[in-house]
Amino acid sequence: MQFRLRKPSLQFIIIVLLAVLLILGTILALREVQRQQELRQRAATPTVCAVNQPTDTMILFDKSVSMQEATSPTDSTPRIVKAKQAATSFVDLMAAQDTSLAQQMGLVSFAGESTTTLDSQLTTSLDAVKTAIGSIALQPDTCIECAVKLANDEFAARGRQNVKHVAILLTDGRATRYIGTPPPPYTEATYQEAEKRALDAVKSGFAQHGITYYTIGFGADVNTQFLRDVATATGGKYFFVPTASDLQGVFQEISTLIGKGTISGTIFNDDNVNGVLDGNEQKLQGWSVELYDQANTKLQTVQSDSSGSYLFAGICDGTYIVKQVVKNGWNQTLPQQNGTYSVTVIGGDEVAGKDFGDKQEVLACPVSKAVCQWDPVVGADQYQVIVNELFPGTTKPPSLVASQIVQAPTTLFVFNAKPGSTYECRVSAANSCGNGLQGIASEFCPIPPTPTNTPTITLTPTVTPTGTLSPTLTPTVTRTPTPTRTPTPTITPTGTLSPSPSPTRTPTPTVTNTPTPTITNTPTPTRTPTPSFTPIPTRTPTPTRTPTPTRTPTPRPTSTPVLSGTPGPTQPPGLASTPGPTTVLAVGPTSTPIPTRVPLPTSTPRPTIVPTGDTTTSTIIGIAAAALTLLGGVIFLLL
């Protein structure tokens, strides 16, 4: 019997082809997803640089009796057992590094003042250090100052020059004793003094030997702030380890940080705006500081602690940009050059002193002719800008707030102003030939100017300076009760003032209406302010603008029209010259706006850390495979 192989039909071939394309498209799509995940994971993994220098490392190990307590409620193993295991593993990690680096290590175990011991000197025999760790026995009390001073002495005796000095302080509680502790009872003040002296010893070791401290708080009873202060004061790092499961990882991280660099500094309130951290100036907590690489990619962001300190740890060799995020309402005073630091780390350097000074801006006083109506004085080469605090409604004199000498319009920042208070700004011109300030060029208010001050100016209540027209005018018209007040007969028949240019203009208006000049007696001394004097005709559109209430005693209606007729442009030029002394005090002090100059932290670029990858090729292949599958299905149906 013969069997004949049937040729595969076209439909079968198409089905197989479609299946292959479908499988191929699925594989390519899955590979693309996997590649994207790898890229994201790689971007999220921090850059790792090897420990590239030898170090001298001292372990300061707490052997107080509290270390006998259980590690956690679920783990009855004593803390000291877990701590010994982690410290031993740390020594192994250091020994496993490049042997050419010749790492030195030593051990101090601390308890009371007399029971704190140097268990191992700095040595390259790391096995001897592990043996010393295993021999630690519990003792009462906790004298951290004792341990720090022993470590300082060891670095002074056997620490190598040009080698990084590191100390690892592990404790499960507070410092309870210090050198020379008085007899009990022990109080909170005793513990605070013990921690203060320990911190002072740490700072001394850092200043003399450059010892960087990495501190580990093992358990829930530690003084976190104290341990953090120890670390940040030396450019190190603090680790809180509530359970033993985290202890191994912390020691491992420290082993990778020791050879790397650090960048640290302090953020402070530059109260006197001198760009220098003075001893009495406040440290600022909770300010953000950012670290960028040369490509302007943000690498880290840290916050300043209660002591105003910030720290970037684990920095690989390279050049970095350090900048702070300036808060709204503040001005940065340090650094002045671009407001940033360019820092180069070489060989795991510990770069310190990159401080930032800031001052809160409460009031800005713009000194500008356009804004504050500052009229320059001819011949003056500089001006003194003064800001005074005023106390409206009281007899208290103005108080000087700020003063600055300027050569041109500028901006005077007043940092000590209080919200809700009243201020005035003044500018005085300095004579270009002398040293002193002479005369007031102009007075102004910061924002806004209030020219409404001038309407109430009754410049000089007496117009006597212009009485030079005749000596008889100053004694007032009432001095002439006799008809001799009209020495010029032309005034009587005409009844107008125009024929007589004599100074009798003001007293004679009413005389023209009646032959008896005694009628003018009623204005008497009250006429001397002469409402008609109102300096400039445009300033008195109505006679009632005059502040003299003596207008009511004159029942004569005849005096009213005369007043309205006198302020003609024929006024003697001498009267118009008197308004000159327009020295207006306290121009608009009531407006005390607090300008919100907001220095926005524009330099916060969002780093493109997570690459998206080139998905074009794989995506196109996947789409093409799906398209071919669909096309094959259509052909199959047609056949």
| pLDDT score for 181 | 92
Sign of CA dihedral 491, 496, 501, 507: positive
Q: Are 227 and 215 in contact (CB under 8 A)?
A: yes
Q: What is the DSSP letter of 637?
A: H
Q: How confident is the model at residue 637 (pLDDT cuts 50, 70, 90)?
A: low
Lowest mean pLDDT among 310-324, 418-432, 565-579: 565-579
Token pair in block for residue 403? 């003063």
Alpha helices in 489-570 (DSSP H): 491-494, 559-565
Place of tokens 């003596």: 550
Token pair in block for residue 340? 């940033």
Per-position DSSP letters for 183-252, written without gaps between them: SSPP-HHHHHHHHHHHHHHHHHHHHHH-EEEEEEEESSSS-HHHHHHHHHTTT-EEEEESSGGGHHHHHH
Homologous superfamily (CATH) for 262-360: Immunoglobulins (2.60.40.10)
Q: Find out whether the peptide bond into 185 is cis, omega within 30 degrees of 0.
A: yes
Q: How confident is the model at residue 411 (pLDDT cuts 50, 70, 90)?
A: low
366-375 residue pLDDT tens? 544 434 445 5
Q: What is the DSSP letter of 97?
A: S
Distance CA 77, CA 88 (A): 17
pLDDT (average), residues 436-443: 47
More confident residue, 243 or 308: 308
Angle among Cα 373, 376, 377 to the nearest 5 degrees reads: 135
597-618 residue pLDDT tens? 434 333 334 333 334 444 445 5
Lowest mean pLDDT among 5-19, 37-51, 146-160, 373-387: 37-51
| pLDDT score for 634 | 62
pLDDT more than 70, % of the chain: 57
Lowest mean pLDDT among 219-223, 434-438, 445-449: 445-449
**Backbone dihedral angles phi then psi of residue 174, each to the nearest 5 degrees:** -90, 160
Q: How confident is the model at residue 131 (pLDDT cuts 50, 70, 90)?
A: very high
Same fold, 55-241 and 363-453: no
Q: Which amino acid does the sequence have at 261? A: G
Please tell me which of 186-195, 407-416, 511-520, 539-548 the model is most confident about, judged by mean pLDDT: 186-195
Would the pLDDT of 123 be above 80? yes
Domain at 363-453: CATH code: 2.60.40
| pLDDT score for 519 | 44
| pLDDT score for 298 | 96
Distance CA 230, CA 106 (A): 20
| pLDDT score for 405 | 77
pLDDT (average), residues 255-268: 89
Q: Which amino acid does the sequence have at 292? A: Y
More confident residue, 39 or 295: 295
Helix (H) or strand (E) run with residue 12 in it? helix 10-44
Q: Are 239 and 218 in contact (CB under 8 A)?
A: no
Would the pLDDT of 493 be above 90? no
Q: Provide, for the chain, the percentages of residues in helix, strand and coil under a 3-state DSSP scheme, each rounded to the nearest 5.
A: 35, 25, 40
Token pair in block for residue 207? 């200043």
pLDDT more than 90, % of the chain: 36
Q: Which amino acid does the sequence have at 552? A: T
Q: Are 346 and 388 in contact (CB under 8 A)?
A: no
Distance CA 48, CA 51 (A): 10
| pLDDT score for 158 | 97
* Total number of residues shown for the chain: 639
Domain spanning 55-241, CATH class: alpha beta
pLDDT (average), residues 158-185: 94
Lowest mean pLDDT among 126-135, 142-151, 270-279, 377-386: 377-386
Place of tokens 């990690």: 93
Helix (H) or strand (E) run with residue 149 in it? helix 144-158
Q: How confident is the model at residue 15 (pLDDT cuts 50, 70, 90)?
A: confident
505-558 residue pLDDT tens? 444 444 444 444 444 444 444 444 444 333 434 444 444 444 444 444 444 444
Would the pLDDT of 332 be above 80? yes
pLDDT (average), residues 402-421: 68
209-224 residue pLDDT tens? 999 999 999 988 899 9
Rg (CA), the chain: 45
Distance CA 586, CA 378 (A): 24
| pLDDT score for 545 | 47
Stated pTM of the model: 0.49
Q: Give CA separation, 483 vs 188, 472, 516, in Å.
A: 101, 15, 7
| pLDDT score for 388 | 78
Residue 36 burial by CB count (10 A; 0-12/13-18/19+): exposed, middle or buried? middle
More confident residue, 321 or 568: 321
Q: Find out whether the peptide bond into 507 is cis, omega within 30 degrees of 0.
A: no
| pLDDT score for 133 | 98
Residue 457 burial by CB count (10 A; 0-12/13-18/19+): exposed, middle or buried? middle
Extents of the domains making up the chain: 55-241, 262-360, 363-453
| pLDDT score for 8 | 64
